[in-house]
Amino acid sequence: MIKVSFIGDIMCEPLMLKASKQGERYDFSGVFCNVKELLSESDYVIGNLETPLAGIESKYTHELFSFNAPDEFAEAIKDAGINYVSTATNHCMDRGIEGLKRTINVLDNIGLSHDGTHKDYGEHEPFITTIGDMSVAIISFTYGTNYAVHHRALPEKGYVDLLHSDTDPVYLVKKAGKKSWVKKLLLKPLKIEHITAIKKSLGMTYNIPRQDDYLNEEEATPYFNNLKRKIEKAREKADIVMFHPHMGGQFNPQPGKFSEYTVKKALEFGVDAIIASHPHIVQKAVVYGDVPVFYSVGNFSMSPNSVYLLHENLPEYGIIPHLYMRDRKIAKVTFSIIKMIEERNKQLSVFPIDKIVCGESDTENIELENAVKKIYNTVTGKKLIADEIIRSEYLLYDNIHTRDC
């Protein structure tokens, strides 16, 4: 059987960036070294690149929510065994259209396949690759970008495969009230990370889960027509069509109305699998007929020490779905659980949970097992009742043998 795996948000935040600097260059190999063996077991690995590669002149990531990683980051991604990255994320134009174009050039130069953003506007052919004896299409779209927020202007259409307009609201949130007394006391404006850190240290609300419930079907129709055309084109040439959307409410364990609508439409358009990212935590997985749908696979390399994280839903854990295919069909679906570990002032590293050494501490082992149980329950809706809690893979769907975990 052919095995295709998906990893979540590949991020390069300030803490990891600083810890990876080696003189004038950067070395990110430690981020991936502990998960490299797991990825090598797959015939093809697909990831979500949550940063542009806009070059040092555009300043590497130095503030929250606006990213830019060194070229060495992409090289480390490829060296880890990742074959394809989606560039259709809300951060793809954090350094403008020129940063978007340079990202594409860098990926092309190192031979790392990608899709979701484009150097020119207009309609583009779907990405299709050959894996073993099968042709597989990967369709990458994002709910929107942060471009309008950072640049106070809208890009020309066609550079990014979008699910709705950048002018639409992203989330439904409560209207902001009066400025907090923390902000009032600040004589000089501080960066958002400093304000967040102050609020957090004082026990104040510093972040909230986002509600992905904004849905205007009429406004969304042109964007979903574009998605439909791309899926139909892929269907003509590919044995398997995989939809890889970037969507969902950040830090929200429940998919919102827009995510549910997107899944519904993609199923109508005829995809064979849907694997989504963006919420920065793991969400449920459901099998509709024979189509596996992962609403959010969570993070791959988000810093567990980032000041704005909401930890109750375990953002330091992610999953890696594995699709086993034969006879041009998806025959079985499993998932691995990973954990991001970051010691103070040291480089983040990603571990499959069965490779984590907890030492002699029963407390650490119990904490790990409890976290795994919670992630498993979130994904499957079931309780993990077994002697072997820590495993390399967990079953979601088996079209060959009907069995339960």
Cα(386)–Cα(381) distance, integer angstroms: 15
Each residue's pLDDT tens digit, 66-89: 999 999 999 999 999 999 999 999
Q: What is the reported pLDDT for 167?
A: 73
* Strand 240-246 with 285-288, pairing: unpaired
Q: What is the reported pLDDT for 177?
A: 46
Q: What is the reported pLDDT for 133?
A: 94
Name the stretches of the chain with pLDDT < 50.
174-177, 187, 402-405
Each residue's pLDDT tens digit, 44-64: 999 999 999 999 999 999 888
The first and second tokens of residue 388, run together, are 């072997």
Q: What is the reported pLDDT for 255?
A: 97
**Nearest one of 98, 100, 137, 136 to 117, comparing CA atoms:** 100
Q: What is the reported pLDDT for 386?
A: 78
Each residue's pLDDT tens digit, 231-247: 999 999 999 999 999 99
Q: What is the reported pLDDT for 197?
A: 76
Q: What is the reported pLDDT for 405?
A: 39
**Burial, 92: exposed, middle or buried (Cβ in 10 Å; 0-12, 13-18, 19+)?**
buried
Q: What is the reported pLDDT for 391?
A: 95
